[in-house]
Structures are given as C-alpha cells and as structure tokens.
Structure 1
C-alpha cells in the first residue's frame, strides 16, 4: 500500500506479510518458528522488498499450560527458534501477542508462532505474482539448509539480496514465495491472473512438484537478462501462450485447475447463488443534449462531508484536486448536541460555498442502524442542510456525486433518481440492498457506460468498458419493473456490470452483487446527480498498476469541466 500523504504524492510503499506452516510447527516448534520468520521474509522479497528494512511482530497461540512440564516446551522452543532466526538475519521484532488458551477438552491447537513482517519500499520496485508474458523463463531460487534442516541464514541473506537486485533491475518480473504445498499450486496461481500457461521442464521429478518448499521462491525471468541474476537458480519451465500447464505428456487447462481451486471452499463461502449466465441486451442512450451550466466558475469548489466511518474522503479529494477543483472536507461531529448543531452549521456553510457535493465511500456510522447510509440520510434531511442542498441544485446548477456508501446515501435521500431530497424514501423507489450472496464483495469489476446523459459522463466513452474496485456489502440495485422501465426510457441508467469483453450479464461472477438489470450506477433525470458503486476515485501512480483495462472514466474531470 502507498504511504498516505496529504497534499502530496509519494512512491513510498508499505509492505506486510505473514509466515506460518502448521505442519512444520507440529513436527518441531523450533523449526516451525524459524521457517515462519523465513517465510514472512521470502514473501516480502518476492514482492520486491528489501529484507534489510524488515521488522517483525509475532502472534503466538499454544495449548493451555498446566502443571505438566512437557507442555511448556512448545512455546519455549518456538521462541528460541524465532530468536535464533532473528539474530542470524539481524532483524528485530517490535512486539507481538501471545495466547496460551488453545485447548478445548482434549483438543489442542498445533504450536503456533505466526511471523508478521513489515517493510517499506519504493513502489516502482514492487512486482505482483501473476505471470506477465509468454516466452519467459520460470526459475526457482532454493535456500540452503544445514544438516538439521534449518536455513543457513548467512547464505539465505545473500540469496534474497540477489533476488531483490534482480527484481529492481528488471530481470525478474514476477515472483511467488513457495509454501508447504509446493511448486504445482504456486505455478497455477501465478498463471490464473493473465491466463498465461506454463510448460514445466521434464527434468523435474514428479515428487518435486508437491514438496514443501517454505522459504524458496519461484520467479518469471526475462530470458534476455538471465545473466544479470547473480545468485544460484534453476530453470524449471517457461511461460507459453496456451492457457494450460504442461508437464511431460500431461496437459491440464488453467480453467480446469482454477475450477478445482475455487471449488474447495465454495460450499463454505459461496461466491454465487446460481450458475445462470443470462446476457442482457446492449442498449445505449446517446443523449442529444446534456445539461449546461449557467453559473460558470474558473475553479469549482467541492464539499465532501465526512461521517464517522467514512474512509474514502482522501482518495476522493485527491481525485478532484487532480482534476482542477478546490476541495473542502467537513467532519460531522456527534459526541454531543452542541457538536451536532455546530456540524450542521458548518455543513450548511460548506454547501453554500460549493458547486459540487460529493458523498464518499466507507461505512458511515458502521452501517447502523438498519443498514448503510442511514446516518448520511438522516443528517442531510436536517431542514437547514436540505434547504442548502436544494438551493445548490435549483439556483446554482450544482452537481452531486455519490460513490459506494455515497451512492447508498444519494439513493436513500432521493437525489437519485428523483433529483431532490425527499421527505423519506418511497416504499417502491429504487434502492440498494444486501448483495445476493449476503456477504461483502471485494474485487475488480467491469462496468459499461450505457448513457451519456450527464455532465459527469462527458469524458467517458459511450459503450466503453472500465475496470475499477468494488468493495461493499449492500450494493445490489433493486427496483420495481415500472421504475426500471422509466429509468431506461429516460436514459437514467448510467453504467451496468459486464464481463471483460463488454457483454452485459447477470452472471454473478461479473454482476457481483446480483443487481437488477445489472445496473451499477444511475442518474437523476437531468443527469446532475450520479450515484455508482465502484470506486473510480481509487486511482493514481502505482495504484492497481497490474490490472489490465481502462480504469479512468474521467468523471472528476468531466464534473470540473462542466463549470468551466
């Protein structure tokens, strides 16, 4: 994650990883702790971090201690193993937490010492694990071990330093820290992302594909730069165009491998309620005219209200500032009646000074009571705030944008689709409810612009497909048939969920919350209020840089340009 900075940009990234192998720890708590530390380092190194900057924090969890002296040996030997690894790596732990209550009747937890490694790095050196292109070599870096099967720490440091240098120099372009499951699962995960296949070397023995390899790293290397890798490695395969993994005479399609991978926990944490893949008609609304601002300003001012639980105000402010606007944020303080009254007065002033009000994402008031955005809706139905909002819309050609929790806010206020704050949300009005799988969804999502009847969408391509992060538990758009028909007829359906090729679909893999008609965003009748679920504000240098596809819908730029 990029280190957050206010009013400036940075390439400084924070990193965090964990290491723990329950099988090694059950065999030997000493080895388990040593390899937990090594594993957490390996994951940082495989992502482009420098191990010399790492610090640790440990989480320990052991069976309940009793008068039986033998039970005390597990935590004692685990701590010794971790301490030995720290001393030999020359890296310190900055704290930790322990629990000695891991026993229920006659059932004990395995000896558990989880190592969390934290680091800082230059974002330009960070790499992701998915394979990048065909024709590259797959290499394996193996840590040396001694006669007791413990890492030779001095040599591991040299190996990891060489990998870090190879990543910074561009010789290694993707990498993955191996674990107890071995090469085969790791290669498969690397191949899933971009559907790039792998041909493994025949020289690999079958048993090598599934050996426990904690601490070792496999990497995708540029064949033209192999000589720049100055530490020992072994070539174990190469990337190929065909989306499959091949080994000797065996070939398995990536789709089949991923289906097996996903199937493991599907019954426990279902990602779909059905396998229906209903494609919807691709109907675009090309508006003959878009609302024109009569109150031009050189540099519009944006007001972003912040409620307890809001967490997207910084990204939203940065996006508007980059587009050329001035931004004011106001925090609603609710610890006393005096604070509430003062916050109302401040919100009214900010709204009167603004041309744009932007409702940001987050979990306002913890999405309580009774669902998301109720705190926002209650606050903005205050008579003074409501009057200021109506004056903004009626007399100053103002704009309103709501993203994620902000979309929940504007729809419950009535700003979409009615274009004004209503006394209460009508029982049959469009709304947002719990995702169809009844759980939070967090993934990159494709949406298609199906209407340009809005100042917010003048910079977007009609019919264009954009990919942005979705992160919500209540994002499912629902509405009666009459409302759906009215919104479509008026060109108020702005964006719809689609697949990577732009096909609008009810398939829950793409329509992640099961929205009616795959609707992701809607407009007010005149297009000046826009609400959508996906986080278009999460953009910038080094953000989602490994995601293919267009990410910038130019919404913020379009909103600013409207006033120019």
Structure 2
C-alpha cells in the first residue's frame, strides 16, 4: 500500500487509542495479506501525550481577538495563502471535451498534528482532502485517494528499523502509525486507496506544484481526486453582504477521531445543498482553524465579517479539522438539514467585527 513499509513485529504502547490502533492493524493485515509485511523488522508505536492533547490546546486569548488572529495568520503564513478554491481543476482523459464535468484534486496535510500523533495526523490528512473536495462542490463519494510520505531515511533501500536499533523502532513506529491512521480513515469513509498510475502521476505533479522541491514538507499527506458537475463548483470568496455564515461540524469520538458515519452524512447532505444552489461559498477548516477560513473567504472581494455575539473566542480557535464554513443566503437557512454553528454574517466593510473589536482585513493579509 504505497511506499510506506509494512511490518509484522509491531508493539503498541499501552494507553489512549492503543486498543483501537491494534484492531486497525489486524484489519490491515487481513486486507493486505501477510506477504506485504516485513518479517525482519520491529516497530514501536508510542502513544501521544494526552496531558498535552493537541485537540484540547486552548490559547489564552485574554478577551482580545485581534492579537490571536494575527498570530494565527503569521504562524500559518505558508499555509494561509489566498486562493479561489481549495481544490484544483485538472485535465482528465476520461472526460469528453463537450462534457459539463470537471475533474478536481485536493490535498490534506496536518504537520503540527502529526508531530503530536502521526496516527491522527495522517488520519486527518484524509479528512481534510475529502472536506476540501466537498467544500468545492464535489461529492466525496467514489473519490480516488493517494498517499505520499516524506520520511527522511539514511538508506531508502532498507527498513530503518532493521538491526533492532531502538531509534529505528521508534521511527518506523511513527511511519506505521501514520499508515494505519490513513488506512483507517479511508476504510471509515468507505473508500479505497488507489495505485492507478495516472492518478498517482497527477497527485505527484499537484504536490510538486504546491511544495516544489523544498525539504520542509509534511511527513505524510493525502491527495483526493473526483469529478463534479461544472455548475456545482463552489469557490471560497464571500459573494454578498448580509448573507449568513455557518460552520458545519463533524463529531469526534473519545479518541479524537471523526465519527465516520456522521461525517459521511454531513458531507452527503452538504453536497445536496450545493446541488440545490444553497451554498454561495465555502471553506474546509484545516490547519489555521475557523479564523483562517473566515479571513481567506474575505480576502478576494474584501468583504468583512460581523461575528455573532454568542460565539466564544475559543470556538474560533478550536481545532475543527474537517468542518466546513459556508456562506448561505438568509432565505436558504431553512434548508439546512445538518448540525451547524451560526458564526455571523457578511458585511460590506473590509473588517472583522466582534463585539467592540475591529480587525482590518489589510492587517490580516499583510501579516
């Protein structure tokens, strides 16, 4: 399955999601076959530090939104570049020239989450890639999924853990945890990993365009591809003042994984709203959270946002991987069939308003 080495001798540290990842590994062996496993390797999968849970980290905002928003845009500057869409339109030989369909490709990365837990990081690269397709108006179902890893190894021709070196076991454990996280997500969404060479080549070209040949690349990323109707395509830019802004969230279990059945329902019903023309613009929440999403949706046409007074600051900064922020006309709010959070409304002034606080869009753009 891809270029990630698979192992037979694998030890999981006790605690947190140990029981869950062990079951995933057993299912992986059944699906892939023992012939795909390296019998001479050992790996140790360490559990993440639950006392410093990445998903529960709460920045001390001290009631001031501006400083935290600026910090968010600065920290994720390389990931927060303005864009009209979170997926790219690509050429596809299977689509006829006179067709009303377009092929889309998106990618998911979670470098900071992966540092805390490679398992969760890789899992959410799949979620993000699919959420981006959904936000752009593409049905996530039947998407082709491709994984790429970028783990530095001294010798690419042999497993780094051979020789039973402790550091090798831990490093290979990180790679194995990432593989199992991504594998679990693909299975959870009812999809399959692709090794279609054309799809792989498209994914490689897309990622090279995103990252170039820089070495500072995410260790694990996912590329997702699918086809959608041209008139279903949704862009990220806010369209009109007075439109409402909501966030469609996906629920998580006690191990900080998405509840796949509910996530699938959310994306399916969201696509139904897209087809009915209710979604004016949308953005899949990722590495920069809801604040990044609102800023990116505002930049192109320089419309601002009046954030609802009932929204708490921590709700804007919380990790909400896989959620989708969407712009909807006031009259179409009644058509929402999935749980959502009302964030506010689009305003003509190029500012972010929250209570008595004003943030200029130029300040966020130029950070």
What is residue 28 of structure 1 aligned with on the other side?
A: 117
1:140 match: secondary structure: strand
The correspondence for 1:180, drawn from 278, 287, 296, is: 287
What is residue 85 of structure 1 aligned with on the other side?
A: 185
What is residue 330 of structure 2 aligned with on the other side?
A: 223
2:141 match: secondary structure: helix
* 1:246 positional shift: 0.6
What is residue 117 of structure 1 aligned with on the other side?
A: 224
1:54 aligns with 2:139: no
The answer as to whether partners of 2:278 and 2:328 remain within 8 angstroms in 1 is yes
Change over 3 Å in CA distance of 1:171–1:184 after alignment to 2: same
Distance between the aligned counterparts of 1:72 and 1:192, measured in 2?
42
2:106 match: secondary structure: strand
What is residue 270 of structure 2 aligned with on the other side?
A: 163
Distance between the aligned counterparts of 2:149 and 2:132, measured in 1?
20
Change over 3 Å in CA distance of 1:194–1:87 after alignment to 2: same
Distance between the aligned counterparts of 2:353 and 2:280, measured in 1?
21
Distance between the aligned counterparts of 2:261 and 2:96, measured in 1?
43
What is residue 311 of structure 2 aligned with on the other side?
A: 204
Distance between the aligned counterparts of 1:30 and 1:4, measured in 2?
32
Change over 3 Å in CA distance of 1:181–1:8 after alignment to 2: closer
The answer as to whether partners of 1:180 and 1:211 remain within 8 angstroms in 2 is no
* 1:185 positional shift: 2.0
What is residue 236 of structure 2 aligned with on the other side?
A: 129
* 1:170 positional shift: 1.5
* 1:203 positional shift: 1.5
- Pairwise CA RMSD: 2.1
* 1:4 positional shift: 6.6
Change over 3 Å in CA distance of 1:113–1:155 after alignment to 2: same
Distance between the aligned counterparts of 1:153 and 1:240, measured in 2?
35
What is residue 193 of structure 1 aligned with on the other side?
A: 300
Distance between the aligned counterparts of 1:182 and 1:202, measured in 2?
19
Bigger proportion of residues as helix: 2
1:242 match: secondary structure: coil
1:51 match: secondary structure: coil
* 1:10 positional shift: 2.1
1:130 match: secondary structure: coil
**Count of residue correspondences:** 250
* 1:63 positional shift: 3.8
The correspondence for 1:73, drawn from 168, 173, 180, is: 173
Q: TM-score, normalised by structure 2?
A: 0.64
2:320 match: secondary structure: coil
Change over 3 Å in CA distance of 1:49–1:7 after alignment to 2: closer
Distance between the aligned counterparts of 1:147 and 1:109, measured in 2?
32
- Residue ranges of structure 2 left out of the alignment (5+ in a row): 1-88, 154-159, 202-214
